[in-house]
Amino acid sequence: MSRKIVLSGMQPTGRLHLGNYEGALRNWVSLQDEFDMYCCIVDWHALTSDFDDTAAMKDRIFDMAVDYLASGLDGNKCAVFIQSQVKEHAELHLLFSMIIPIPWLERVPSYKEKSESLGLDSYGFLGYPLLQAADILLYRADLVPVGKDQLPHIELTREVARRFNSLYGEVLPEPQAKLTKFAEVPGTDGRKMSKSYDNVLSLADTPEETAKKISTMFTDPEKLRMGDPGHPEKCPVYALHRIYTHEGTDKIADDCRTGKLGCVADKKHLAQSINEALAPVRQKRAELVSHPDVVWDVLRDGAKRASARAGETMELVRSAMRLKYDS
């Protein structure tokens, strides 16, 4: 029995933060032992919104790849690669664009929302989810690990596969979303951790930067000074303790409630826990940053392995569509 195929994708946003780590990366690292995994850095998707900011793309790709590898993705187990280095993504997207009605794309919830809020109206932006369908179907993936927000894109991918198969014959299996339960990670201001809120703790931060950011964190607004009783269930510092402090979290909650534990000491403790958890990642990170060739080699090798699978799929697709003219 061959192993199931997993395809995951992430836009090259640069350095990753704890929210990315808990929401996606940690899960990918655990999947790579069980499945044939392809991890795609989707630089073409990034162009659908950041087409006017291409100078930073290479650094963003590099920083993200470093964080992937430092977090435990292993280039020998998982093909980590850049989307634009496997041209078949573009070819399959183009073929899909011929068979998919425009209203299918206009109906995708993220389209209307984002085209209005971000003023995006390009042809490529409308095609964003179709390019994502191509990313997935190009590997004939069985599973796609994503968050809930991506479910409409996976549903569209399944519809694309069905339409292709009904026109040309059974070539493309319908993939399934693999939703994972993960801890929602609050940012330093108590909102969801997100680059756009400027509230992130990055894997690449130094221990001092981490401690400094945590020292300014939002806490329970009713606990103003040490003796005041706090409400750990409302406090983002406590939410992070629950993820990163392995022992004594109940005591932290009790001491906060009774006023015995003040926020300053509590935050120092949290910084220590997070810095301990990240120490091995940061060490690996520093090694990779000082050997950039290793990172580019992993990406090149990943693209080679991805191309092999993508090439097989495109042969099947071109045959099914009767688009082979070589003899």
Name the residues annotated as catalytic.
114, 192, 195
The closest alpha carbon to 147, from 185, 111, 117, 195, belongs to 185
| Dist. CA 183–CA 193, nearest whole Å | 12
SS3 79: strand
Using CB under 6 A, which residues numbered 22 to 81 contact ligand TRP?
42, 45
Nearest residue (CB) to ligand TRP, 44 versus 244: 44
Find the binding residues for ligand TRP in span 1-20 (CB under 6 A). 7-11
Phi/psi of residue 38, nearest 5 degrees: -125, 120
Nearer to ligand TRP, 153 or 213 (CB): 153
Q: Do 60 and 13 form a contact (C-beta atoms < 8 A)?
A: yes
How many chain residues interact with ligand TRP (CB under 6 A)?
14
Interior angle at CA 75, CA 74 and CA 79, nearest 5? 120
Strands 36-41 and 176-179: unpaired
Paired tokens of 326:
């070589």
Least distance between ligand TRP and beta carbon 10 (Å): 6
CB of 3 to ligand TRP, least distance (A): 18
In whole angstroms, how close is the CB of 129 to ligand TRP at the nearest point? 8
> Which of 128/168 has CB closer to ligand TRP?
128
Q: Return the residues of window 176-235 that contact ligand TRP according to CB under 6 A.
A: none
Q: What is the dihedral of CA 205, 210, 212, 214, to 10 degrees?
A: 140
- Of 264, 284, 260, 299, the closest CA to residue 65 belongs to 299
Give the shortest CB-252-to-ligand TRP separation in angstroms: 33
**Minimum CB distance to ligand TRP, residue 24 (Å):** 8
What character string, x for contact with ligand TRP (CB under 6 A) and - otherwise, covers 111-150?
---------------------x--xx-------x-x---x
Nearer to ligand TRP, 94 or 279 (CB): 94
Quickly list H helices, the chain. Answer: 18-20, 26-31, 43-50, 57-70, 88-99, 102-106, 109-118, 123-126, 128-137, 151-168, 207-215, 236-244, 249-258, 263-290, 292-320
CB nearer to ligand TRP: give 153 or 223: 153
Site for ligand TRP, rule CB under 6 A:
7-11, 42, 45, 132, 135-136, 144, 146, 150, 153
